[in-house]
Amino acid sequence: MADRFFMSRKIFPGTIVITGPGADSYLLLAEDEAVMIDAGSEHGNIRAFAETLTDLPVRKVVNTHSHFDHTAGNGWFDVVYGTEATARSGKNVMGGDPSLYPLDYEYTIVGDGDILPVKGRELEVILLDCHAPGNIAVLDRTRRLLFPGDEVESGQVLLLPGYAEVPGQIHSRPAATVETYRNAMLKLRSRADEFDWILPAHNGTPVDKSCLDTLILLAEKILSGEITGSRDCSSPSYGRTASHFPNDDAGYRRAELSGVSLVYCEKLIFDTDYKNADALPPATRLHVMSAETARQ
């Protein structure tokens, strides 16, 4: 059966989380249609599954970012929203078999501040650009919810480089610096009176919006040198066997504070570090694998 990969749970009024083997996706019921946030990581037809959960048509998906655990099911939908950076690597199957996935689709490009054309549910794009190049949060002004993709979550926030956009490229852009991430979290916190809950794509949902304060404080303590963290980047949900776990020579650390944590590159603390970062060694095995499955 096409839906064997997925389970669902109503989480807030008009808001359903769809879980599968990878990232969580969300189905938002609006006035005359339902819209997906992210498209799952499996080749099962997530649109067909979503359509069993509502009488509304489900035609549109918006990608929070380009990683394939969020984009694998894009091709089942009629409209796929994403930023330009998301569009450049959203079809990279990251070492998988491209023939398993529906990759014959085009992106409809969105950018910071855009409101998606969905009647009865006001969805604003907020560019964050840290966990992945072009990563967005979707602010649901109608239901007062924030969908940050992987920029905020309770397991760990990973600041890794982007994945290949063209064949042979190891990484599209160096990882975001800690300073860039701190500024992105300040941007979200400046909107905090517009949402009540944060709904991430991994490691449990929802999370309390007070975690933004803690993430900002953690980033500031890394910037001041008060916290450097551990060279052991592992956690219960992120271990050495994961293909996107940092290589030993790549210089990553895990810093933790009051239940939140950040995996960051010790060579990329301040924005001024960024200009020399192109020559950094491959961050993870997945980056090397993705160099071979970027779009032709």
| Residues at the site binding Zn ion, with contacts judged by CB under 5 A | 23, 69, 150
The H-or-E segment that residue 137 falls in is: strand 136-140
Is residue 276 classed as helix, strand or coil in its secondary structure?
Answer: helix
Kindly state the smallest distance separating residue 25's Cβ from Zn ion, in Å. 10
> Could you say which DSSP state residue 289 is in?
H
Q: Please say which residue, 42 or 150, places its beta carbon nearer to Zn ion.
A: 150
CB of 289 closer than 8 Å to CB of 243: yes
CA-CA distance, 222 to 245, in Å (whole number)?
A: 21
Question: CB of 120: closest distance to Zn ion in angstroms?
Answer: 28
Residue number, 192 or 242, with CB nearest to Zn ion: 242
Residue closer to Zn ion (CB basis): 51 or 69: 69
The minimum distance between CB 159 and Zn ion, in angstroms, equals: 13
- What are the Cα distances from residue 272, in Å, to 29, 69, 144, 263, 264? 43, 31, 36, 19, 15
Residue 86 Cβ, how far from Zn ion at the closest point, in Å?
13
Q: What is the DSSP string of 100-128?
A: GS-----EEE--TT-B---TTS-EEEEE-
Query: In angstroms, rounded to a whole number, what is the distance separating the alpha carbons of residues 241 and 167?
Result: 25
What is the C-alpha separation between 37 and 215, in angstroms, rounded? Answer: 23
- Left if phi > 0, otherwise alpha if psi is -120 to 50, otherwise beta: which for 122? beta
Q: Which is nearer to Zn ion, 124 or 150 (CB)?
A: 150
Q: Minimal distance in Å, beta carbon 114 to Zn ion?
A: 22
| Least distance between Zn ion and beta carbon 38 (Å) | 8
d(CA 62, CA 55): 20
**Minimal CB distance residue for Zn ion:** 23
Q: Between residues 223 and 242, which has the closer beta carbon with respect to Zn ion?
A: 242
The residue among 23 and 128 lying less far from Zn ion, judged by its C-beta, is 23
